[in-house]
Structure 1
């Protein structure tokens, strides 16, 4: 009996080893098969979208921008394929550190897209109600009827924090946080006057998104930087992205500095108020951001659709605003293109995309240069020569 059990044990071991070996052999061969399949697929897509032709044309556009003083990185992608990417100029002019594709830029107001998505994500989870008012979370907030929706689409009518508190901030050399800003709104006497009633008309205002970031902190019990890292950047593989208030020094590797009028600009007194600005990222990470939005990996398809729905019609024209995204609309006021620009302390940025043709255009600069916002030529190239309604300069800041 013992001998039979011994034989069975040997046979079982041999069988198990054989199965494991086959599994190992199969798994070791699968990546090469997958890689070949992926390469064929990418080659087919590159041919279908005429990637090489577009890359050559974009290169010519970027040569002109470089001659106009462009200093930063550019990435253009379509249908999962990087059509063109390059880096120009310096991250640090004093030490002649050149920009690379790994250079991290302050996104300025392009950061608002992240704040808005964080709010929509919390709304999906039932942690933040879009129709709730700020007073529901901050009872001492002095303004009535300001809903989360009105903040998201810049229809709150609130005062501008950077002008309202500028005297005390710069006079006392204070670096306020979002929560300190909320406290100031609640305690300042007399209460700063509103500009208009909530939902009366569109008025672009950084206060709206600074409050939204404060709300994210309030309902999650986490700092905005911590929340974004754990719930957005890490899950999406955006390893080169962080919020300006982060204390993780390793994130500062490849960080750029902002320049304007030939001077490197020091830390601003409002740099620690985030949500309206404050995200540092790379062009490559922003491609991951676009892909995650497109593929509904961070918020649902329904939430994204709501975010890119035009919300303001007081002013006729082709520009509009959704929830944290600027919109380029057609004559029927339907969204054609989605984008956001940014401009803060020497940095100017743009992320512009078309979900129909599945392309994204990203330009990040750390030396102020208005050519960043002149993307019509690139848009027309991505549309394969078909002229778009996009203007030569779409700076909205």
Structure 2
């Protein structure tokens, strides 16, 4: 199925091309580099001012602030960033990164993205598929011969149609009795050696069933096919090329990651490390609102994967259950009555953190909310979407978490 919407070129690209032409003209006419830089800076400011006027940024910012202030009154604690056409309309930090030490959140604060992390895992898989290192129609058993389940393709993992059991429930007794923090490869070994084999919920590709096991396996597959730990691969091939200098996987062994790192809170208490914290792919990315804006730019400008791969990722895959919500490869989708994608997003919740990144490819806006104290207002963004549409929204209900 092809999507009918055209994805607009990022405004930064327009600005870049405009400034490049100025720079070339300056060089041909003997203008100094310093002078050219000043011209470029002026050109950038003029282009941003033009875009801000075009999208009515000031009015939108004022309206957005009213909504965010209401969320704050209802307990929101975290960071917000909303942008359109490459221009930040609104950003704000609220509350504390660490309540015990009264360390306040700032725009560089790093939040556990929870299931929003799945978008990164999916892009990593598609990147490896483009490079010919992974075949989407191959099965998990092709890469892990001891995996006890047949017929589960990489595609079915990407769109939650595997029918597999939930790892966090299947092995919970083992993990808690032995008090261990398993890795993705240990999880794969448990599936391979468990007696009896944990039963599946349904046959592969029978219907959509959201399941963290799928993306934990995909992260293990990245490690198996690249020979690198998941955190290293992601840093070298996803975060760095996207310019995401403040993002990392939870298992990263580097003290610098603790700078501006937040702590998760739920039910008024600090959440301690969970036994499953070191299994990643389904969760585990820490990032900032600024880096997620770069993530959005990398997706729409095909910095990491090509246009065809991204279109495949945001094509709806599940129609067993009627409704507007659907799923592609690692992205939740909001579809119209023609079963075509209108909005692309993902939510997340894990141990006090809850998150959302929501974007409209046609209107070229993105809404990002990251919270380190569980609060369901994070997911209630209908009014924000209406504002970004100039008060005219096609949304019929609010976004819900998983």
Instruction: Tell me the distance in 2 between the aligned counterparts of 1:240 and 1:311.
Output: 32
Counterpart in 2 of 1:52? Answer: 58
1:318 aligns with 2:331: no
1:383 Cα deviation (Å)?
0.4
CA contact 2:107–2:289 (8 Å) conserved in 1? yes
Kept after mapping to 2: 8 A contact 1:130/1:148: yes
Does the residue aligned with 2:292 lie in a helix, a strand or coil?
helix
Task: Within 5 Å, give how 1:1-397 maps onto structure 2.
Answer: 26-392=32-398, 394-397=399-402
How much does 1:396 deviate?
3.3
Mapped partners of 1:209, 1:228: distance in 2: 14
Distance in 1 between residues matched to 2:286 and 2:30, nearest whole Å: 41
Q: Which runs of 5+ in 1 are unaligned?
A: 1-20
Task: Write the distance in 1 (CA, Å) between the matches of 2:30 and 2:279.
Answer: 52
SS in 1 for 2:68: helix
Q: Paired residues, what number?
A: 376
Distance 1:287 1:44 in 2: 20
Q: Secondary structure at the match of 2:152?
A: coil
User: Counterpart of 2:6?
Assistant: none
Does structure 1 retain, via aligned residues, the 8 Å contact 2:207–2:320? yes
Which residue of 2 is the match for residue 18 of structure 1? Answer: none
1:324-344 deviation digits (Å, cap 9, x = unpaired) = 000001111111000000000
* Residues 348, 364 of structure 1: 8 Å contact kept: yes
Specify whether residues 305 and 312 from structure 1 end up closer, same or farther in structure 2 by C-alpha distance, changes over 3 A only. same
3-state SS, counterpart of residue 102 of structure 1: coil
Q: Kindly tell me: are residues 171 and 384 of structure 1, through their superposed partners in 2, closer, same or farther at Cα, counting changes over 3 Å?
A: same
Q: 2: distance between equivalents of 1:390 and 1:236?
A: 34
Aligned equivalents of 2:110, 2:400: Cα separation in 1 = 22
* Deviations 1:346-388 (CA, angstroms, capped at 9, x unpaired): 0000000000000000000000000000000000000001022
Contact 2:349 2:401 in 1 (8 A): no
Does the Cα contact within 8 Å between 1:92 and 1:257 map onto a contact in 2? yes
- Quote the Cα distance in structure 2 between the aligned partners of 1:395 and 1:218: 34
Question: Matched residues in 2 for 1:257 and 1:364: separation?
Answer: 12
TM-score, normalised on structure 1?
0.93
Counterpart position of 2:14: none
Q: Is contact 1:73–1:86 with CA below 8 Å preserved after alignment?
A: yes
The two structures, once aligned, show a CA RMSD in angstroms of: 1.2
Q: Give 5+ residue unaligned stretches, structure 2.
A: 1-26
The answer on whether the counterparts of 1:151 and 1:212 sit within 8 Å (CA) in structure 2 is yes
Query: What secondary structure is seen at the aligned counterpart in 1 of 2:32?
Result: helix
4+ runs of 1 displaced by more than 3 Å? 21-25
Partner Cα separation in structure 2 for residue 231 and residue 24 of structure 1: 39
CA contact (8 A) 2:241 2:303 kept: no
1:24 CA displacement: 9.2
Task: Please report how far the alpha carbon of residue 25 of structure 1 lies from its aligned counterpart in structure 2 after TM superposition.
Answer: 5.8
Q: 1:389: how far off? A: 1.7
Contact 1:110 1:349 in 2 (8 A): yes
